[in-house]
Amino acid sequence: MGIKPIPLFMLSAWIKAAAKCGFSVQSLFKEAGIKIDLIRLEDARVSPLQLISLLEQCVALSPDKHFPLVLGDTFAFESLPEFETLLTTSSNLREALRVADMAARMVLPWLKLDVKDEGLHGRVIVEFNIPLPNFVLYELPLTLVAQAILACIRKFGRTLQGSEEGFVGVTFKGPAPDNAAQFEAFFGTSVTFDAPADALIFESRILDVPLEGAFPSLHEQANFLAEQRLGKEARRQGVAAEIEELINRDPALLAVGVEEMAERLNLHPRTLQRRLKEESDSYLHVQARMRHRLACQWLRKGDVSIDDISARLGFSDRRAFTAAFKRWEGATPSAWREQQV
């Protein structure tokens, strides 16, 4: 499908969640052809299709407990201690959610967490920026992934805050499953299905309430280590992923040419182009991919005009942006935005 495999940093969570649900994942991993070496865990990779297939199989093997919810509630940053420290030393939940979005780039790179402040209530929305044109046509059961992510966010929010206070609801895009009652029992609040978005709803006031675990100096150190880890993972994924990570941090880099980008990577331009070719990629393709990804991200946010998005992405005018976006998504930017939340 053209989507790179992702690191299996959630391994221990899968093992513990399966045990809680009464089965072992060992045979499932073996059948999927996923080889694991704990000494070199960072080298273990799983494709998105493998991940979703494993989730579906685990759901089938645990009829009494909904596996994605158990998986999300079990997840911990055991293989990523710098992210664990970064999260637990956050000054408030707003900062913690920024950390969670940053951590997602390590654990599930095509996951995007969007925080919307909407008066008295706010939402954490789970989105999937899968770098594949019209990926919805593949009808992947991403709702299972969204369920696990929201369960995980709920767990960390409850742990950091030390209480259930302020969480008022959960919504899911998909239809109500047969075990819908398990969802309300798990989240301890109202759960709505067939909703416009996969989201956790909370009272906006709790975003900025100071957290007891706040530790600014340690937080700053952990942030430095987490950024180093992200850079290392991008390099492990290849030079294209490394460029994507740089642009993701600073979208203004979309405007730089291959020579300047090579300089930032401490490479000769010809070396950069050769390495991209070895990855069956090119600098122009990476730029186009990131323009597509950022365009979708900013259009979903709804607070940036289409003219501004066009300018940020480096298009000569709105018409050029519209033509490119129609190639990517089969719809104009304005029509596509109306279909989103």
Asked if residue 179 and residue 112 are part of one domain, the reply reads yes
Domain range holding 303? Answer: 243-339
Amino acid present at 122? G
- DSSP 3-state of 46: strand
According to DSSP, residue 152 is labeled H
pLDDT of amino acid 323:
92
Give me the number of domains the chain comprises: 2
- Residue 120 falls inside a structural domain: yes
- Residue 324 falls inside a structural domain: yes
pLDDT of amino acid 148:
93
- Residue 58 falls inside a structural domain: no
Mean pLDDT in consecutive groups of 10 residues from the start of the chain, 341 residues: 65 90 88 68 69 88 92 89 94 93 83 86 86 58 90 93 91 90 91 93 94 95 92 79 86 92 90 89 90 88 87 91 90 86 54
pLDDT of amino acid 332:
92
pLDDT of amino acid 268:
92
The Cα 248–Cα 229 span in angstroms is: 15
- Please provide the distance, in angstroms rounded to a whole number, between the alpha carbons at the two ends of the chain: 26
- Residue 314 falls inside a structural domain: yes
pLDDT of amino acid 193:
95
- Residue 317 falls inside a structural domain: yes
- Residue 110 falls inside a structural domain: yes
pLDDT of amino acid 1:
42
- Residue 52 falls inside a structural domain: no
CA 76 vs. chain centroid, Å, equals: 16
The Cα 170–Cα 184 span in angstroms is: 9
- Residue 148 falls inside a structural domain: yes
- Asked if residues 124 and 200 have their Cβ atoms less than 8 Å apart, the reply is yes
